[in-house]
Chains A and B, each alone.
Chain A
């Protein structure tokens, strides 16, 4: 009997020592609450789920990258501008009649380059990345506003309905299942493998956790950070294209607020703001949690414009939880 409780304790301790555990619990509770209390149980209705499946990957894909970078100990606020810049480049290329495959790669390359530039600035100046990427965010946003004169640019004139690029990014499998969700899963699995099972993932963790030690052991921490910034950049470009195709236009306000929402997703998923702690499953669930809170509360009839109050409260709650978990478990 005593042995059994001992074992139970141990299993529980193990479970709670993973930063993702609380996110899982809260996620499940939210599903139950919204499942029961939304009007007509509309949360689990087919229409709502497919809408979520189309919309949630937007923030989700960006958050995966930003969270990975946070594990390496850096921030990227410029995601808010990498998204519209990519979308703008994509739209312009479309207007010039570039082949779709070229467009795809040039747009992704744009993100890669912006990411590289961010990373390079951060490791070279050794300034806090919060400041550096605040600067690049404003810089790119200024450029994209000037270039577009803040006017939306529709893409329908140049892109016929149902082209392969639309199928690839925003198609529906079997006419139902949104492809974006698959991309979101794909990136989560890809980054999960990289961060948790690959040698490079270990470098990400130790760079964020103790950069001096990492460097002493011969890890090129500057390279690790730059690569993480490039991952963020490419994911932003990818998401910029998805969003562009879904709303069928470039919009100057694309990406506004994503920088902080992405960080919030990572924090809700148990990622430390100091670097060195976090997990891809956590970030994955974190971004879903934030988005179902938003979605569920609206379905429950909460005033749509006041939703950010709840999101804000949730972020603080999770940040406090994370700290207290690590205190209790010694992790």
Chain B
């Protein structure tokens, strides 16, 4: 990792090619809240169509890192490269324009509004004078939902009538439809039944199949282990380890998170 950093700083042409390999690369990220250092020297990257599990205990800095990536915070130090180019993600709008979308549990949908209207919330398809093209909204939202492997009959049904897993599916279908390249799922399986969680994990695989990268944040190590190909573990604002699935197992991961130390290094 320190190797990467050196390359990032030299900004040579060889560093460029390294950046090009990944969809997004955060280099030497620091974030302070007052005197508290929330993130220190974080190097984090996500490859194209890769599922990365971002894990760590409460207060490890997971959400801070993601909020920097999605434009809610700005880093005090460090750089972000997106598709090889240096970017300044000053606000959430910039992140959305780049194709970085965050899906928050329960914060994504309006329960008493139809599925189609939820999918197009804030980005309604219109005909003239701002009047909605409801036919196309119904059609395209169902298209995105079907693509995700979710079976819903009626785009006019209220979101309230859906199960937790289906709701998560609608929220993910929305980012799929709007051509996200990187989807951040913040605790997507929290408060879901076993069956519904499985459904969400299937959605994640479907996103990968569509060529979309996923950052999967969760406390549930079993879910993330099943879904992700690589795990990035934070502890007290520092990167503990970055390990591929084939180089680890679930007990090892739990051990790392609980102890906050890596004996491997």
Binding site for B on A (CB under 8 A): 193, 197-203, 205-206, 209-210, 212-214, 216-219, 272, 276-277, 330-331
Within 8 A of A (CB), among B102-159: 104, 107-113, 117-118, 120-124, 126, 129-132, 134, 158
B160 at the binding interface (Cβ < 8 Å): yes
Extra contacts, 4 of them, besides A202-B113, A216-B108, A331-B160 (Cβ < 8 A), are A198-B129, A199-B126, A205-B113, A206-B118
Known contacts A197-B132, A210-B107, A214-B121; is A330 also within 8 Å of B161 by CB?
yes
B19 at the binding interface (Cβ < 8 Å): no
Cβ-defined contact, B131 with A205, below 8 A: no
Binding site for A on B (CB under 8 A): 92-93, 96, 104, 107-113, 117-118, 120-124, 126, 129-132, 134, 158, 160-161
Closest residue to A218 on the B side, CB-wise?
B122
**Shortest distance from the beta carbon of B156 to any chain A beta carbon, whole Å:** 10
Cβ-defined contact, A209 with B111, below 8 A: yes
**Shortest distance from the beta carbon of B159 to any chain A beta carbon, whole Å:** 9
Closest residue to B127 on the A side, CB-wise?
A197
**Shortest distance from the beta carbon of A113 to any chain B beta carbon, whole Å:** 25
Cβ-defined contact, A206 with B113, below 8 A: yes
Inter-chain CA distance A209–B113, complex, in Å, is 8
Known contacts A199-B130, A205-B117; is A217 also within 8 Å of B161 by CB?
no
Known contacts A197-B132, A330-B160, A331-B158; is A210 also within 8 Å of B110 by CB?
yes
Cβ-defined contact, B107 with A216, below 8 A: yes
The listed residue (B96, B104, B132, B160) touching A202 by CB distance below 8 A is B132
A contact residues around B124 at 8 Å (CB): 199, 202
Cβ-defined contact, B117 with A202, below 8 A: yes
Closest residue to A71 on the B side, CB-wise?
B112
A contact residues around B134 at 8 Å (CB): 197
Known contacts A214-B122, A331-B161; is A199 also within 8 Å of B112 by CB?
no
Q: Which of A193, A198, A202 neighbours the largest number of chain B CB atoms within 10 Å of its CB?
A: A202
Question: Lowest 7 A-B CB distances belong to which pairs?
Answer: A217-B122, A209-B110, A210-B110, A199-B124, A206-B110, A330-B161, A276-B112
Inter-chain CA distance A199–B137, complex, in Å, is 12
Cβ-defined contact, B121 with A198, below 8 A: no
A contact residues around B93 at 8 Å (CB): 218
**Shortest distance from the beta carbon of B243 to any chain A beta carbon, whole Å:** 32
Q: Which of B92, B107, B110, B130 neighbours the largest number of chain A CB atoms within 10 Å of its CB?
A: B110
Cβ-defined contact, A202 with B121, below 8 A: yes
**Shortest distance from the beta carbon of A57 to any chain B beta carbon, whole Å:** 26
B contact residues around A209 at 8 Å (CB): 110-113
Total number of residue pairs linking A and B with CB closer than 8 Å: 76
Inter-chain CA distance A193–B128, complex, in Å, is 13
The listed residue (B108, B123, B131) touching A213 by CB distance below 8 A is B108
Cβ-defined contact, B110 with A214, below 8 A: yes
The listed residue (A199, A218, A277, A331) touching B132 by CB distance below 8 A is A199
Q: Which of B93, B113, B120 neighbours the largest number of chain A CB atoms within 10 Å of its CB?
A: B113
**Shortest distance from the beta carbon of A170 to any chain B beta carbon, whole Å:** 31
Report 22 cross-chain contacts, Cβ distance below 8 Å, ordered by A residue: A197-B132, A198-B130, A199-B124, A199-B130, A199-B131, A199-B132, A202-B117, A202-B120, A203-B122, A206-B118, A209-B112, A213-B121, A214-B110, A216-B104, A217-B121, A218-B92, A218-B96, A218-B122, A219-B122, A272-B112, A330-B160, A331-B160
Inter-chain CA distance A213–B107, complex, in Å, is 5
Known contacts A200-B130, A277-B112; is A219 also within 8 Å of B121 by CB?
yes
**Shortest distance from the beta carbon of A260 to any chain B beta carbon, whole Å:** 24
Inter-chain CA distance A201–B158, complex, in Å, is 16
**Shortest distance from the beta carbon of B68 to any chain A beta carbon, whole Å:** 17
B contact residues around A219 at 8 Å (CB): 121-122
Inter-chain CA distance A38–B25, complex, in Å, is 78
Inter-chain CA distance A25–B175, complex, in Å, is 41
B contact residues around A206 at 8 Å (CB): 110, 113, 117-118, 121-122
Inter-chain CA distance A218–B120, complex, in Å, is 11
Inter-chain CA distance A217–B130, complex, in Å, is 18
Inter-chain CA distance A199–B126, complex, in Å, is 7
A contact residues around B108 at 8 Å (CB): 213, 216
Inter-chain CA distance A220–B184, complex, in Å, is 23
Inter-chain CA distance A277–B161, complex, in Å, is 14
Inter-chain CA distance A2–B167, complex, in Å, is 32
**Shortest distance from the beta carbon of A213 to any chain B beta carbon, whole Å:** 6
B contact residues around A193 at 8 Å (CB): 131
